[in-house]
């Protein structure tokens, strides 16, 4: 079967750095995406890694190791508005349909 594993909840302090890990096992793999979803909102694209290594976009970075079937999202200088659920998702085929993890709820404390 296909599965993505990520922690259900992570707590951090405002201004800190947090890393959300994701391991995956899928029949196809084109890349690993990360999406942010606030309560009641739609998922919003954050990043995509097709190749091994680190991609940086402002305060957010994403890493991929294809050999380890592992990736992570790194959030720096945490702000209260970063409180949300973060989903890793694998683009599993050439139509880039996304297979999703269960999401990590990020709780930020002042």
Partner 1 sequence: EPEVTQTPSHQVTQMGQEVILRCVPISNHLYFYWYRQILGQKVEFLVSFYNNEISEKSEIFDDQFSVERPDGSNFTLKIRSTKLEDSAMYFCASSGPGRKNEQFFGPGTRLTVL
Instruction: Please tell me whether residue 10 binds partner 1 under the rule CB under 8 A.
Output: no
Partners of 105 in the β-ladder: 9, 85
- Stretch binding partner 1 (CB under 8 A), from 14-22, 25-33, 51-59, 65-73: 25-33
| 9 contributes a contact to partner 1 by CB under 8 A | no
Closest distance of CB 103 from partner 1, Å:
6
Sign of CA dihedral 93, 99, 104, 106: positive
Provide the token pair at 18: 């947090």
Per CB under 8 A, residues contacting partner 1 are 30-31, 33, 41-45, 48, 50, 87, 89, 91, 93, 95-103
């Amino acid at each position: 079967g296909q599965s993505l594993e990520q922690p259900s909840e992570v707590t951090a302090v405002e201004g800190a750095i947090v890393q959300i890990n994701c391991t995956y096992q899928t029949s196809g793999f084109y890349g690993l995406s990360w999406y942010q979803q606030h309560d009641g909102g739609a998922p919003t694209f954050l990043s995509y890694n097709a190749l091994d290594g680190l991609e940086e976009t402002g305060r957010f970075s994403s890493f991929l190791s294809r050999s380890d079937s592992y990736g992570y999202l790194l959030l720096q200088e945490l702000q209260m508005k970063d409180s949300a659920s973060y989903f890793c998702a694998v683009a599993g085929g050439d139509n880039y349909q996304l297979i999703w993890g269960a999401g990590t709820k990020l709780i930020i404390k002042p």
